[in-house]
Structure 1
Amino acid sequence: MRLSTFQDGFSAALWARDVGEAAAAHAPWIAALQAQPGFAVYRNTVLQACIDALQASYPTVCQLVGENWFRAAAAVYARAEPPDHGALVEYGAGFADFLAGFAPAAGLPYLGAVARLDRCWTECHLAADAPALNRTGWARQDARALAALHLRPHPAARWAWCADHPAYRLWQHHREGLPWGDSLPWVGDGGLLARPQAAVAWCALPLAGCVLLDACAAGEPLEAAATRALTADPGTDFTQLLGTLLDAGALAVLRPDRPPTSPAETP
């Protein structure tokens, strides 16, 4: 038997309740493997490891819905989307999208957006180290060349905008254990997470900031990126917004090279 055939069959036995008659006819050992009591224990252990990994990566979601609800939903996700990598700390990239379309979560329409912020934290934590552009570095730039300058988001910067729900404020209050007060304004908001040094930090980010970072990530020069940001929110104080990004460590140190190469241009 080829190794790939065994691996495919073992995976089918591990995650599928029934491999089907056709598969069993071609590989009767799969059915025999599923019938072993010890394999059932192993299957359950693997599933529990996936659920544990999701709970560790999405603590805010777990706080919002409770542990029992979360683990039941995580089990559904894990069976549908088993990990494809041995490092479970990276597992669950699609969990936010899953929650957004998960029928039992229909009464919590903000849950997917909160989950995306939990995922942003994980990605920030795992991202590559790199120096961040600060106000001193920015002040050294030639003002005459700023319009054509290509800013790059820091490798550990992540941002998210939710137009319909205060996802960032919900996420922030749970992460920081903040008191809720009398009421929470139910308006859309955004958040920025970055790790310019050792620890992940976060702050609120307006729509213009999210649009600006999106444009910079796409390789647009500063003038075009700023135009997009100000079109999205004409009342934005651009100088203040840029200061927020610099103070948060959301921008990478500028390099005296040509604009970032698009994936299609990469040799």
Structure 2
Amino acid sequence: MQGLADRLQGFAAALLDPSLGVPPGLVGPDGEPSPKRFAVYRNNVVVGLTEVLKANFPAVCRIVGEEFFDAMARILVASEPPTSPILLEYGAGFADFIAGFEPAASLPYLPDIARIERAWMEAYHARDTPPLEAAALAAIPDRHVPSLKFSVHPSLRLVRSPFPALTIWRMNVGDGVPGPVDLAAGGDDILVVRPAAEVELRAMPPGGYEFVMALEQGQSLTEAMKTALTADPRFDLSGNIRDLVAAGTFVDCHLDQEPERMTE
């Protein structure tokens, strides 16, 4: 006789694989197995997860159309079922799935659109935290500034694409109007953050992506500047700091030798 864990595992597997049939011991009101009833339940589960993906990736759906999206989502659901009861977490690997989905190969930018949408959702549901104010940063003595380290906002996400993905995404959400895009025009580095009620997406300037990544990894302002300049000699430190603080990218700044964080 199967244990409960094995029965549950078999039930979950049968939900996503029609070839497995009705799990043993699962019967209808008449005490007999009911393939039709189980098929209805199976279809409801797949449709429900497909709708979750459709709600979380509206631009991807708009670009490929509902029929294509539904077919793609059903394959993902069958191959990568949820691992958490929190449906907001479902679809974390959707971008990577799209990248390996051969029928979508003619849309090479599509995985990055999915990454933007995933980043947007994660930022939207991130913990609320007051951002660092420009006045607090301006009050720090000049001699300390080169050694400053920054803590990034919990909603911060970065997306890098070799395509103009931010432009394409904006064309396909809300009131956006799709239009011609030159895929060879260059890529986008995208900052996603929600310092207040609304998620903001911004195109990052040259070296900005490397700069924020370096700060997020614990480098000092001077170290992060060198990292950014190595990536792109056009990097503008003062302009980047100004824009990043205005966007609410950081929650505080501090010196290693001073435990008290400089947010007052």
Please tell me the TM-score bracket, short chain as reference: 0.7 to 0.9
- For residues 63 and 121 of structure 2, the distance between their equivalents in structure 1, rounded to whole angstroms, comes to 18
Cα distance, 1:242 vs structure 2: 1.3
- For residues 152 and 108 of structure 1, the distance between their equivalents in structure 2, rounded to whole angstroms, comes to 36
Confirm whether residue 160 of structure 1 aligns to residue 150 of structure 2.
no
TM-score by length of 1: 0.85
Cα distance, 1:29 vs structure 2: 4.0
Deviation string for 1:15-67 (max 9, x for gaps)? 223449xxx9xx84479998632111111111111100000000111111111
Cα distance, 1:180 vs structure 2: 6.2
Provide closer, same or farther for how the CA distance between residues 34 and 225 of structure 1 changes in structure 2, counting only shifts above 3 A. Answer: farther
- For residues 210 and 48 of structure 2, the distance between their equivalents in structure 1, rounded to whole angstroms, comes to 37
Does the Cα contact within 8 Å between 1:189 and 1:206 map onto a contact in 2?
no
Does the Cα contact within 8 Å between 2:192 and 2:202 map onto a contact in 1?
yes
Number of residue pairs aligned between Structure 1 and Structure 2: 254
Cα distance, 1:173 vs structure 2: 2.6
Cα distance, 1:98 vs structure 2: 0.7
What SS does the aligned partner of 1:83 have?
coil
What SS does the aligned partner of 2:158 have?
strand
- For residues 109 and 69 of structure 1, the distance between their equivalents in structure 2, rounded to whole angstroms, comes to 16
Cα distance, 1:253 vs structure 2: 2.4
Q: CA RMSD in A?
A: 2.7
Aligned-partner residue type, residue 120 of structure 2: W
For residues 80-229 of structure 1, the aligned pairs below 5 Å read 80-162=79-161, 164-175=162-173, 177-178=175-176, 184=182, 186-229=185-228
* Structure 1 runs not aligned, ≥5 long: 261-267
Does the Cα contact within 8 Å between 1:189 and 1:207 map onto a contact in 2?
no
- For residues 68 and 227 of structure 1, the distance between their equivalents in structure 2, rounded to whole angstroms, comes to 48
Alignment partner, residue 265 of structure 1? none
Provide closer, same or farther for how the CA distance between residues 55 and 227 of structure 1 changes in structure 2, counting only shifts above 3 A. Answer: same
Alignment partner, residue 61 of structure 1? 60
Deviation string for 1:194-249 (max 9, x for gaps)? 11011212221135221122112222222211211121111121111111111111
Deviation string for 1:58-94 (max 9, x for gaps)? 0111111111111111111111111111221221000
Does the Cα contact within 8 Å between 1:161 and 1:207 map onto a contact in 2?
no
What SS does the aligned partner of 1:98 have?
helix
The structure whose residues are more often helix, as a share, is 1
Provide closer, same or farther for how the CA distance between residues 256 and 223 of structure 1 changes in structure 2, counting only shifts above 3 A. Answer: closer
The share of aligned pairs that are identical, in percent, is 37
- For residues 254 and 165 of structure 2, the distance between their equivalents in structure 1, rounded to whole angstroms, comes to 34
TM-score by length of 2: 0.86
What SS does the aligned partner of 1:212 have?
helix
For residues 11-22 of structure 1, the aligned pairs below 5 Å read 11-19=12-20
What SS does the aligned partner of 1:155 have?
coil
